[in-house]
Amino acid sequence: MDLETGLKALKRLTRPDKAVTVELAGGEPLLQFELIKELLTEAKKVRPMLRFALQTNGLLLDQEKLTFLRQNRVGLGLSLDGLPQINDLTRGNSRAVLKALDLLDQNKVGVNITVVLTRYNLAEMPKFLLFLGSRPSVRVINLDLVRPLGRAESTDLKPMSEDIYQAVPKMLSTLDFVNQRRWPPLKIREADQNLRRACLKEQRPYCMAAEGRAVAVDPAGDLYLCASLAGRKEYRLGNLDDQNLLDPVEMSQDWCLPPECRKCEVRLICRGGCPSRRIAYNGRPDMKSRLDCALRRTIFKESS
């Protein structure tokens, strides 16, 4: 993406009086670090209420970049799928990622770790949690079940539901063990959501995209309902240069709770699971993802 497109996106899709979060992702956004610096500098002038977050694999993170991101209050997410022998199977370059974690620890910068759950790493997750628990910079672990999209479309990385049923109790038990020995506590996003949403009395959308309050912008300025669906024309809203764009609220109408989930005891917590994952697995958003269901139901059962 060039600077003109980035600034055009910020000006068209946000308002100067409204707080909005902008996530810089890829690919690998740190490949375009000069663009990021320019974008954040210019954004302060036109949209001072914007919040920025950056999702990186950490390979290019160094002291100079970290200092800039920290000074500009950019939230950091790091992608890591397991201990080195596991992470090397799906991502590679684990040594460089661990170096980035060392840097975050040394600078006392908090980070969220996004783990893509696959058939390779589920059984090893308790060991991975012990490792992450020893890292003071790691605050939250996001469990992101693999979607057969993009790079993962041509590979069979999907775990089995039975793998999830077996792994989750061990993961939560390990998390309790870790949190008896560290502060602040290490959180697993999905387990934390289970606790926070337990008292809800009404059904809510899964995410901002599911209620038409988020869009993804690709380098060409094309807009999509969700970044995971970029390139799929049926979810394209238009281009930043178009005078009129499709309405994301209308396009997300069928991203609500799937019919088969409407009597489920977990529905207020899981919210039907990720719509883009439903599309990736089923080709349509109105059918639940069996893996999402297995993960959320098991966490609910073990946390209740």
pLDDT for res 152 = 56
CA distance 78 to 293: 25
Distances (CA, A) of 42 to 72, 153, 180, 229: 12, 37, 44, 28
pLDDT for res 149 = 66
Give me 90's structure tokens.
Answer: 């799906």
Phi, psi of 28 (to 5 degrees): -120, 110
Measured over the CA atoms of residue 238, residue 244, residue 245 and residue 250, the dihedral's sign is negative
In the three-class reduction of DSSP (H, G, I as helix; E, B as strand; rest coil), residue 253 is classed as helix
Which residue, among 100, 285, 121, 281, has the nearest Cα to 206 in the 3D structure? Answer: 285
- The b/e string for 215-239 (b: 16+ C-beta within 10 A; e otherwise) is bbbbeebbbbbbbbbbeeeebbbee
Give me 199's structure tokens.
Answer: 């008292």
Q: For every one of its 304 residues, what pLDDT tens digit does the chain have, with 9 covering 90 and above?
A: 999 999 999 999 998 888 899 999 988 999 999 999 999 999 988 888 899 999 999 999 999 999 999 999 999 999 999 999 999 998 989 999 999 999 999 999 999 999 999 999 999 999 999 999 999 999 999 999 998 766 655 568 899 999 999 999 999 999 999 999 999 999 999 999 999 998 889 999 999 999 999 999 999 999 999 999 999 999 999 999 999 999 999 999 989 999 999 999 999 999 999 999 999 999 999 999 999 999 999 999 998 7
Phi, psi of 254 (to 5 degrees): -90, 15
CA dihedral 220, 236, 246, 276 (to 10 degrees): -130
80-203+257-304 topology per CATH: TIM Barrel (3.20.20)
Contact 211, 256 (CB under 8 A): no
Neighbours of 193 (CB within 10 A): 16
